[in-house]
Amino acid sequence: MQITPIKTRIFKENEDLPEFILQYIKKIPKKNLENSILVVTSKIVALAEGRTVEYKNKAEKVKLIKQESDLAIKTKLVWLTIKDGMVMASAGIDESNANGKLILLPKDSFDSADFIRNKLKKIFKIKNFGVLITDSRIFPLRSGVVGVALGYAGFQGIKNYIGEKDIFGRVLKMSKTDVADSLATAAVLCMGEGKETQPLALINKPPVKFTKKTNRQELIINIKDDLYLPLFGSLPGSKILQKTSLRGIFNR
């Protein structure tokens, strides 16, 4: 597997995203696009959708965070929130590289990934091709951010080892690999988090199973079955948590 970040100019709000992407990948040989995954940062997807908000003060930002969240808990540094089945800071609302505005998450990252994938497959006449929409997240008790998959299309996002045997013949009962988030983390590491202006990346020959359809529920786990439930059961709003299916830091 090889990850190649793609340096671009600054993407403008309400700009045509597929046309922008084409500017930078049209020179890539077809053989390099086949059996590959295009990574797109969620920020330019949101900008293409006009998902920005001007705000006057902190109170307006807090109100927006609550509107965008299924659950919002105030902490020392940020609002700890649940949105779209994932635990994240401040409902994913971002001020960095936003030119004074707040940038929300895309409306539906799975739909966006599927739209971009179908467009590029048709143009380049390729068969096995995926698209991955990424953002950043923080793990409990760890410093720094890693990549996360907000949505994807064209490949299986999880690899299930349940029922298989390990090297000593022991049958695996719980093991699954979160393929989508693992790829997102690797790609975001290469793309950068600052002023690199590398909102795109191409993953060549990733260890994935390419598919025609995407199961957007495959990473979801019921919180009642989650390994971290004892840690989060006493949180304010835990009754809401217990009725929610989650992914992200809760996954095994």
Please, which pLDDT band fits residue 140 given cuts at 50, 70 and 90?
confident
Which CATH number is 52-104+220-252's, of 2.40.10, 3.40.50, 3.90.1660, 2.60.40? 3.90.1660
pLDDT of res. 252 = 33
pLDDT at 197 over 60: yes
CA-to-CA distance for 6 and 129, rounded, in angstroms? 17
Per mean pLDDT, which of 48-57, 97-106, 223-232 is the most reliable? 48-57
Domain locations along the chain: 1-47+107-206, 52-104+220-252
**219 with 180: CB under 8 angstroms?**
yes
Is residue 79 within 8 A of residue 89, CB to CB? The reply is: yes
Mean residue pLDDT across the chain: 89
Higher per-residue pLDDT: 35 or 248:
35
CB atoms within 10 A of CB 225: 10
Instruction: Tell me the C-alpha distance between 141 and 117, whole Å.
Output: 36
* pLDDT of 196 strictly over 70: yes
Look at residue 239 in the predicted model and tell me its pLDDT: 53
Does residue 249 register a pLDDT over 50? no
First to last CA, the chain: 24
- pLDDT greater than 90 at residue 94: no
Is residue 204 classed as helix, strand or coil in its secondary structure?
A: strand
The DSSP code sequence of 90-144 is GGG-B-TTSTTSEEPPPS-HHHHHHHHHHHHHHHHT-SSEEEEEEEEEE-TT--S
Average pLDDT, integer, range 26-49: 95
**Where is pLDDT greater, at 63 or 232?**
63
In this structure, CATH architecture of domain 1-47+107-206? 2-Layer Sandwich (3.30)
For the residues 4-10, what does the mean pLDDT come to? 97
Handedness of CA 219, 223, 226, 232 (dihedral sign): positive
Asked whether residue 99 carries a pLDDT value surpassing 70, the answer given is: yes
